Amino acid sequence: MDTPSPQGEEFRQDLRAPGARNVEARRLLSAAELAPLTRLSTARSVLAIAQTFGLIAGAVALAVLTWPSPWMVLSVLVLGVAQHAIFILIHEAAHYRLFAARWANDGLGRLMGMAAGLSMCTYRVTHRLHHNNLYTEEDPDTAIHGGYPRGRAYLLRKLGEDLLGLNAWKTYAYFFGAPAINDDTRREIRPLDDTSPALRAAARQDRWLVLAFQLAAPLLAFAWGGGQGLVMYAVLWLLPLVTVLQPILRLRAICEHGAVTDLSSPLTAARCNRTSGSLANWLGRALLFPHHVNFHLEHHLYPAVPHYHLPRLHRLLRDKGALDAAEVRDLTDTWTRIFAPRRPRDARHA
């Protein structure tokens, strides 16, 4: 197993009290059972990266070979889905789960972040707060997934704004560590304040590198293909980043944590979305849950488990009975819940 991270850098297992279910979950997996699940595989990570960038290469090739044509629309849609898969790989790197060698894990994580317009090191800091303070005043993600269901009209309006690119600036402000506002207390959460000096320095440096990359990329596109190269870069990379990707990010976050009714337990404050058994579930997996991120409850319980071992972790917990009363649902059931009529405010925070 990995060496524990220093103070201010760790992602804690969410096995907190109160509740008998939490005590039971804490005792479920022995160190011997957990050890193989946390073991990192370079080959599995390389395969996941190759699958994602292979999809990107195919979509770009289709657009280039048929430019300009209506096929460009399909390429933009596929690229938005693939960019979301990159975000998931960056998430793995933020958890130190991409490669065992820290230089490879952080180096590739930061490079992918630069291409996607986000700072992996800053996201690592912000994401720690989400994991270590789920659904508390210190959770910066509650503004995204909290309070659901908010009504079908509200969610559809938000998704429409996302698709038009109206909320993209909020997404990238989040990934750059901008303060978040708790909706209930109006308290400002400053993610960059809760971290080790080393992570804070790495986040500061990484943000400058991301900005430099984003300034250099259009210049390189112009040098490669002149005006057409610049247009292709804008249409095939920037456009899906600020449009197609945005509603996917929102929907996934809400499916992972939205419309839950018991925030006191890690078994009910995060959700595992089953993505098999029906065409709707399968399509949801393809669009919303690349690299096994549908096993989000399991990820919160044991964040040291890399994505390719999450299905195995799920089966182990299920066979031990830990998930009997947990928030485990078919994606179609989750969909019904997050689009349900708005609940009274007091009921949403039980």
If you write DSSP's letter for every residue of 137-148 in order, what string do you get? Answer: TT-TTHHHHTT-
Location of structure tokens 């029906």:
278
Q: What is the DSSP letter of 290?
A: G
> What is d(CA 112, CA 198) in angstroms, rounded to the nearest whole number?
21
If one counts the domains in the chain, the total is: 1
Q: 80-128, pLDDT tens digit by residue?
A: 999 999 999 999 999 999 999 999 999 999 999 999 999 999 999 888 8
Q: Are 297 and 55 in contact (CB under 8 A)?
A: no
**Is a pLDDT exceeding 50 seen at residue 236?**
yes
Establish if 218 belongs to a structural domain: yes
Q: Which residue in this structure is represented by tokens 């299905």?
A: 311
Q: Facing residues of 324 across strands?
A: none
- Between CA 143 and CA 126 the distance in angstroms is 13
Contact 124, 203 (CB under 8 A): yes
Could you tell me the two tokens for 308?
């390719």
Please indicate, yes or no, if residue 53 is contained in any of the structural domains: yes
The answer as to whether 47 is a domain residue is yes
pLDDT at site 184: 53
Has residue 225 been placed in a domain? yes
- Given a cut of 90, whether residue 258 has pLDDT beyond it is yes
Q: How far is CA 119 from the centre of its chain?
A: 14
Q: Tell me the average pLDDT across 257-269.
A: 89
CA angle centred on 170, ends 169 and 171, rounded to 5°: 90
What does the alpha-carbon distance between residue 110 and residue 163 come to, in Å, rounded to a whole number? 26
Residues in the chain, overall count = 350
CB 14 within 8 A of CB 131: yes
Q: What is the pLDDT of residue 348?
A: 43
Residues 289-309, mean pLDDT to the nearest whole number: 96
Share in percent of the chain as helix, strand, coil (round to 5): 65, 5, 30
Is pLDDT above 50 for 259? Answer: yes
Range of the domain at 230: 35-182+191-348
Residue 4 maps to a domain: no
Does residue 5 lie in a domain region? no
The sign of the torsion formed by the CA atoms of 111, 113, 117, 118 equals: negative
Give the pLDDT score at 36.
Answer: 96
CB 92 within 8 A of CB 261: no
Main-chain phi, psi angles of 178, to 5 degrees: -65, 145
Q: How far apart are CA 282 and CA 289, in angstroms?
A: 10
In a domain, 23, yes or no: no
Query: Considering the domain boundaries, does residue 305 fall inside one?
Result: yes
Q: What is the C-alpha separation between 260 and 251, in angstroms, rounded? A: 14
Segment among 134-148, 192-206, 215-229, 311-325 with least mean pLDDT: 192-206
Q: CA of 189: how far to CAs of 100, 185, 192, in Å? A: 31, 11, 9
194 and 9 Cβ atoms separated by less than 8 Å: no
DSSP state of 244: T
Distance (Å, rounded) from C-alpha 110 to C-alpha 210?
8
Predicted pLDDT of residue 193: 61
Residue 280 pLDDT class (50, 70, 90 cuts): confident
Strand partners, 135: none
Residue 318 burial class via C-beta count within 10 angstroms: exposed 0-12, middle 13-18, buried 19 and up: middle
pTM across the whole model: 0.89
Q: 15 and 266 in contact (C-beta within 8 Å)? A: yes
